[in-house]
Every structure is written in C-alpha cells, then in structure tokens.
Amino acid sequence: MTSETEPLTLVLVGPMAAGKTSVGRRVARRLGVDFVDTDKQIVAAHGPIPALFAEHGEAYFRELERQAVADAVADGGVISLGGGAVTDAETRELLKAHSVVFLTVSAEAVADRIRGGNRPLLAGEDPIERWKRIYEERRPWYTEVASTTFDTSRRPMQRIADEIVAWKREQR
C-alpha cells in the first residue's frame, strides 16, 4: 500500500529482453512517478556491465546490483531490475515488501530482441538456447517474488503498461 509518507513503488522483474525497460517507462509515465533501470544506474556509476563481468566476475556485479535495487526501492517509483537480480537471496527478501510484476516472454518472441545485443551471459554460444536455460533456471525466483504476471510475447508494450497501471491502482 502507498501512503503520503511512503512512495509508490512498483518493481518489474523477468528474463533478459522481456520488455522491463520499455514497459516500465510507460508505466512510470502513466503513474506520474520516476522510472529507474538498475542496470543503467550501475553502468552510470561503475561502467559497462560486460566490462564489470570480465574484470571482476558475476559475484561482484551482483553485489553492485543488490545495492542498486535497495537504493531504488527506498526511493520509490517504477523500477526495472536486471534479469539476474532475483538470483540474489537478499534481493528477493527485499522485494517481498513491494509490488512486483513478473514480465514473461516466449523464446520465439525474444529471439529478435536479443540479436546483436551485448549481453555477457549470452556470449559464446547459441544465444537463444542459452537464454532458454537461464530463464528456466531463474523462473522459480521470478515466481517467488511476483505479485502478478504479464506476458509480453505478442502484445503491444503500451497495452501491457496500461494493464499494469490498472492492476497497480487496484492495489491501493
């Protein structure tokens, strides 16, 4: 619940290329709150994510991510998390106090979205097969933290955003 002293907070989780940023921007605009992409915050403060992975490893990146998520939910707004944020138990615990939307997407729909991208966890092999494995590994964590689920596979992002806004307004 949101009160005058507690900012509206809505968190978007889901696999890489599910549309968290695209949908999140639209939802934030409609709700009249700030939009935060935790991956973009990390890049602004620490440099490109592929370089962080290469130089310091995934564990270091997850520490930075955990802090970015904690800062973002403390400030409120619509917050898009990186696909792997839910792999961290402390982050999942933090999310329990907030409205969390799990954006799902099919492998077929995501294929065009990830081509030509610079996603370190998809490097070095068939990116679609790797994406599928990562999604299946993380799906239980997405489900664990989710308050509701919306599929982005074959529907306009604006329609999905409108439905999320309607859902969030019902929660108040």
Give just the sign of the alpha carbon dihedral 139, 141, 142, 143: positive
| Cβ–Cβ under 8 Å, residues 86 and 145 | yes
Q: Which two tokens stand for residue 47?
A: 């440099």
pLDDT at 2: 45
| Cβ–Cβ under 8 Å, residues 165 and 116 | no
Cβ neighbors of 20 (< 8 A, separation 6 or more) are 12, 13, 14, 37, 80, 81, 103
pLDDT at 68: 97
pLDDT at 119: 54
pLDDT at 129: 85
The Cα–Cα gap between 140 and 144 comes to: 6
10-residue mean pLDDT profile of the chain (172 residues): values are: 67 94 97 96 94 92 95 96 94 96 92 62 70 94 98 95 96 78
